[in-house]
Amino acid sequence: MSQQYQSTALRFGVLTASAVAVALVLTGCAGSAAPDPSAGEPQEFTLTVGKSDNITENPYDILAQQYMDANPNVTITVNKLPSDTYAQILPTQLQAGNAGDVFVTSAGQGDAIGVVSLADAGFLAPLGESAASVIPAGSEDAFQIDGETYGQALSMSFFGTIFNETAAKAAGIEYPTDWDSVEAACKAAAADGQSLFVVAGSIPPNTGLMAQVISSSRVYAENPEWNEDRAAGKTTFADSDEWKDTLETIVDMNDAGCFQGGAAGAGFDALAGGVISGSSLSAFIPGDAANQFGAASDGAATFTVHPFPGQKESDKAFGIVEPAYSLSIAQNSENIPAAQAFLDWLAEPEQTKTFADIQGNLPVSGLADVDLSGTVYEPIQDIIANGEYTAQPLATWPNPGVYDALGTGVQGLLTGQKTVDQVLADMDTAWDN
């Protein structure tokens, strides 16, 4: 889909929630229940989320159970779709009118489950004021149309790479700070039978994510308004030296042995398995997975979150920060009042903090003032404090076809079936359609 990983991405794969955070939640962190206009009357609704095989606990399960404990008259059925096909299944269900009541969506309109795209198609019901209250400043267009809100942001995710510090230290490899050190680290890891990066090459959302992460330092660090320029016809992907550099970097990484063997055919399971085991040192995946990886390794490995480096060490470090996911309500739902009461409850500060803590994500508000020292996010503390990041590029691309062209195009770069120029031309074609 990009996908919604509960939090690891359906844009990139759902992963295990931190066992420690889960324990804290289950021992009494639940907030008070929101006032229920129909208290005492039986209510029920469904909540559709993504799940992959390596998930043991899901934050949606936890919060749904907390809400039901506080509201015994409410029954929430959590339906889990495979994360790697969530972005295909949900739109199909919506078109068929059987998507359920509440479901995970993504910010903007750049992928198949984008809030704006689905609302434009008439699939989403407008939400209450609580949803509007948690939209991060500057992200209104990713959740609203004509002042109506159609997606409720849940937390903020940093899109970059996750690095296995323990395995890297054993290999004598430090996280690279420029292209020369990327190339050197790739060769050093390969010499020891490892890879510096692992990529799910058969899954367009992950190849697309990798390209977006690299573009943050190649394209958007220099011109944060690049998408606006493209929309105004001032540039194109094909004419952009910065986008050419982004995709040529992927080709160069492939040639330098930066990816694991069989990367072009790998799935989501390669990401978690490779980085947790240390056979690969890092992955292009949202930052919330760092805590999840640590829990999955039983404390045997330490993980940190990093931006992808620029060409030169002096280049500005830059990243992507975006509301990780959102929840929306189906326009045809017969249980909108019950579903809206649940979203109102989720928007309360205690629940937003709980959600972010379980996922290992960043809070949906007050981001610049958060102290990240001593956390997996410490390497990006300055990036966050200085606001040196962009929103996900795809969030304001005009249709999901552009991101599809990027993700499948990068697959073609890995297999040698596409050239950089062909991929960029395909993205322009998709943009203009």
**Side-chain half-sphere CA neighbours of 250 within 13 A:** 35
Residues of the chain with CATH 3.40.190.10: 19-155+324-365, 159-321+378-432
Fold of 159-321+378-432: D-Maltodextrin-Binding Protein; domain 2 (3.40.190)
What span, in angstroms and rounded, lies between the C-alpha atoms of 395 and 403? 10
Structure tokens given for 244:
């050419």
| Angle value at C-alpha 187, between 259 and 301, nearest 5 degrees | 65
Plot region of 408 (φ>0 → left; ψ -120 to 50 → alpha; else → beta): alpha
Q: What is the pLDDT of residues 52-101, one digit of tens each?
A: 554 455 789 999 999 999 999 999 999 999 888 999 999 999 999 999 99
Q: What is the pLDDT of residue 401?
A: 93
CB–CB of 282/198 below 8 Å? yes
Q: What is the DSSP letter of 294?
A: H
What span, in angstroms and rounded, lies between the C-alpha atoms of 326 and 47? 12
Residue 78 burial (C-beta neighbours within 10 Å; 0-12, 13-18, 19+): middle
CB–CB of 317/12 below 8 Å? no
Q: What is the pLDDT of residues 120-160, one digit of tens each?
A: 999 999 999 999 999 987 789 899 999 999 999 999 999 99
Q: What is the pLDDT of residue 100?
A: 93
Could you tell me where the DSSP H helices lie in 192-277?
Answer: 204-215, 226-231, 241-255, 269-277
Q: What is the DSSP letter of 84?
A: G
pTM, to two decimals: 0.76
CATH number given to 19-155+324-365: 3.40.190.10
Q: What is the pLDDT of residue 57?
A: 58
Identify the CA nearest to 161 among candidates 2, 287, 250.
287
Per-residue pLDDT of the chain (433 residues), as tens digits, is 333 333 333 333 333 333 323 232 222 333 334 445 445 789 999 999 988 554 455 789 999 999 999 999 999 999 999 888 999 999 999 999 999 999 999 988 878 899 999 999 999 999 999 999 999 877 898 999 999 999 999 999 999 999 999 999 999 999 999 999 999 999 999 999 999 999 999 999 999 999 999 999 999 998 999 999 999 999 999 999 999 999 999 999 999 999 999 999 999 889 999 999 999 999 999 998 898 899 899 889 999 999 999 988 777 778 999 887 899 999 999 999 999 999 999 999 889 888 888 888 888 877 778 889 999 999 999 999 888 998 889 888 999 899 999 999 999 999 999 999 999 999 999 999 9
What span, in angstroms and rounded, lies between the C-alpha atoms of 227 and 224? 8
Q: What is the pLDDT of residues 109-126, one digit of tens each?
A: 878 899 999 999 999 999
Task: Please compute Rg for the chain using Cα positions.
Answer: 21
Q: What is the pLDDT of residue 25?
A: 29
Structure tokens given for 218:
């190649």
Q: What is the pLDDT of residue 138?
A: 77
